[in-house]
Structure 1
Amino acid sequence: MFIKTGKLIAFAAMTMTALPAMAQELRYAHVGAEGDIQTRYAEEAAAGIAEATDGEVTVEVFPASQLGGVSEMVSGVQMGSIPMGHHDFASLAQIVPEVSVFNAPFIYRDGAHALAATDPATSPALQQINERLVEEGGVRIIGRIYRGARHISSNFEVKSPEDLAGKPFRAVPLDLWVSMVKGFGATPTPVEVAELPTALMTGLVVGQENPLTMITSNSLHEVQSHVAMTGHMQSILAIFVNEDVWQGLSEENRAAITDVLDAKAEESLTWAQESEDSLVAELEDKGMTVVTEEDGLDVAAFRENVLAQINADFPEYQPYIEQIMAVE
């Protein structure tokens, strides 16, 4: 039995039209634990992306360092073996060192300012650095997450840098954090987040700093007795993607993904702001002592010492800091 060529072509065209477009699945890695704002963000963003792209782009999230620590994750995104990830902006410093400026302590007025100053669509400083990330590392920042202000936890009372003098204190394994911890007066000891509870339990480090959401979700009250409400950083994370993967998506899907990430960024600010009071109460109920300026915490001394250390270690940040501070 023979089929005329014209009918065969028409049948093939009809068959191809009837088949749904093949979904592009993106693996998304991060180091956050269950209960952290960043984990909620990733899960809800993944669901939002699938809906906004009508299933043409799906995202599978791998939390809690399942695909490796920070350095492995960044390298994976550069190579494309991990299409997407999120972490502190400074985690991309292995590509462009100046990107760390977006995590610098004491440069944002509040959480809303931090989100505005890190908007990939409107922030002059971020746009300049994003161009370099794409050119030099094949990575693009496409969104951000607000996790709240970062505070110091320790197994003794901390009110001033003198209280931390010479003591081993956990630093995120990034140059900016090492510099900041020096400004705290402590001895920086790099520890990956997955190893942090053990490091605190064994005394490898006597303290660390993180948003209250992370302190709670990682049950650090079991190994720390005090929280000093220094608010030294507005914790802002970058969502980044492999540039080849990003350009492999349609323009419509890139726009849809960006819209989802922007909306979730604003929601993350609300989540963080609404949760801080309840988190303080929860930590106190679990036996932690919360130290504020009313209790004698000298935030001004921390600000002065830390900024002096950052300015000494990273003078190249100054033009970007001026642009960040000018954002309304």
Structure 2
Amino acid sequence: MKKKTALVAILATSALALTACSGDGASNGGGDASGDTYNWDMTITVSETSTWWAGAEKFGELLDEKSDGRMTLNIFANEQLSGGDPAAGVEMLSDGSKAFSYNSPIIYSGIDPRFSAITAPFLYQNYEEADAAIEAGAADAYAGLTEDMNIKMLGFGESGFRQLTNNSKEITAPEDIAGMKFRVAGSELFIEIYKELGADPVTMNFSEVFTSLQNGTIDGQENPFDVIYSNGLMEVQDYLSVWNYVYDPLILGMNLDMYNELSDEDKAIVDEAAAEANAYQIELSRDKESEQLAEMKEQMTVTELTPEQLTAFREALQPIYDAYTDKWTPEVLEAVTPQ
């Protein structure tokens, strides 16, 4: 991938700057490390075949390596600790029922709408724009938002640009979406996006999506390539529209109380492991996209929207910006705006 080395350096630097079960060793409250041991739980929203899982595994390996075996990470896919409910999973992270999670800011936005600013429709045209905004201030802004929830943000991973699948027809214009029932991410913003396009949006836990598509309860859904591919949604969907309409990063979060109880040395271990794991996960996710898309083209009708077609969607969704600017607040919106 282009600029791969630079990307890793940027992500590692920004994550370091931001710098379930609780630990079973005594805390030092910021002093020198005393050899405490920790057995932590971490959850992700999707399956073990995703790059989310690979990033979490890398994080666990790095924690073990850098701590000489004192830090152990237990990883749970599909939000197993919260019954498949990612919003409940974020609440568990906040109250200390688990130590870590990878979650989209979309899930956080159900608690605080400011989180949805970075997932505004057609905010970024490509990964370079998203990377630049994150480095310039978005990461710092979101670190502040998570602290308000008693969560330490350990940098951004990445889910990718979100796409649209359905079982009815090829979608190339806003009017094609009208009347169709789509499962959307559990966020007021996404419900309003699809209502603005004339669709019938519904929310449900991601663990229910495959079956709902299979039995026709819903016509389609929207997610990045990795989530679509790793969960086999192409087996129950006929059409894929590639429109890159929302950039979706992942917040690697740690319960703030647990983080603050670590010694300075152990905080550094967690920060460094997180920075390296996030960079690894993002690189892996971007590297896999072309391969995943090629395989999905063998099973689905794939339409890559033209610049003119995308312009029609951008214009149709301008009212979303008008309605949400105040909810995002000028400070957060400025932080995520492309440089």
TM bin, normalised by shorter chain, reads 0.7 to 0.9
Pairing 1:219-230 to 2, within 5 Å after superposition: 219-230=232-243
Deviation at 1:179, TM superposition (A): 2.2
Report how far residue 115 of structure 1 moved.
Answer: 4.0
Corresponding position of 2:258: 245
Match of 1:97 among 102, 113, 116: 113
Whole-angstrom distance in 2 between the partners of 1:283 and 1:80: 39
Show CA shifts across 1:56-77 (max 9, x none): 3221111112112112201111
Change over 3 Å in CA distance of 1:326–1:279 after alignment to 2? closer
Q: Which residue of 2 aligns with 1:138?
A: 150
Aligned: 1:301 with 2:331: no
Q: Distance in 1 between matches of 2:146 and 2:282?
A: 26
Q: 1:84 to 1:106 in 2, by over 3 A?
A: same
- Contact 2:40-2:72 at 8 Å conserved across structures: yes
Corresponding residue for 2:287?
274
* Structure 2 CA distance for aligned equivalents of residues 247 and 186 of structure 1: 45
Distance in 2 separating the partners of 1:278 and 1:169: 26
1:84 equivalent to 2:100? Answer: yes
CA apart distance, 1:112: 4.0
SS of the equivalent of 1:153 reads strand
Residue 58 of structure 1 aligns to a residue whose secondary structure is strand
Deviations 1:42-88 (A, max 9, x none): 11111112112222322111111211211220111111011111211
Q: Is 2:57 aligned against 1:43? A: yes
What is the aligned-residue RMSD (CA, Å)? 2.2
Determine which structure has greater relative contact order: mean sequence separation of CA pairs < 8 Å that are 6+ residues apart, divided by chain length.
2
Kept in 1, the 8 Å contact 2:106–2:115? The answer is yes
Give the equivalent residue in structure 2 for 1:12: none
Q: Aligned AA for 1:236?
A: P
Q: Count residues in correspondence.
A: 302
1:172 maps to a residue whose letter is: A
Letter in 1 for 2:309: D
Is the counterpart of residue 73 in structure 1 residue 89 in structure 2? yes
What residue identity is the alignment partner of 2:322?
N
Looking at structure 2, the residues matched to 262 and 306 of structure 1 have their Cα atoms a distance apart, in angstroms, of: 35
Q: Which runs of 5+ in 1 are unaligned?
A: 1-19
* CA offsets 1:78-133 (integer angstroms, 9 cap, x no match): 110111112111322344321221222222242244345346xx62x443453343
Please state if 1:63 is matched with 2:77: yes
The equivalent of 2:215 in structure 1 is 202
Q: TM-score normalized by structure 2?
A: 0.82
User: Residue in 1 aligned with 2:184?
Assistant: 171
> Which stretch of structure 1 is more off in the superposition, 267-276 or 161-170?
267-276
Could you say which residue in structure 1 is the equivalent of 2:47? 33
1:233 alignment partner in structure 2: 246
* 3-state secondary structure, aligned to 1:67: helix
The structural deviation recorded for 1:293 is 2.7
Q: Name the counterpart of 2:68.
A: 54
Does 2:227 correspond to 1:218? no
Moved over 4 A (4+): none
Report if the CA contact (8 A) 1:160-1:297 is conserved: no
TM-score by length of 1: 0.84
Larger Rg: 1
Residue 246 of structure 1 deviates from its aligned partner by: 0.8
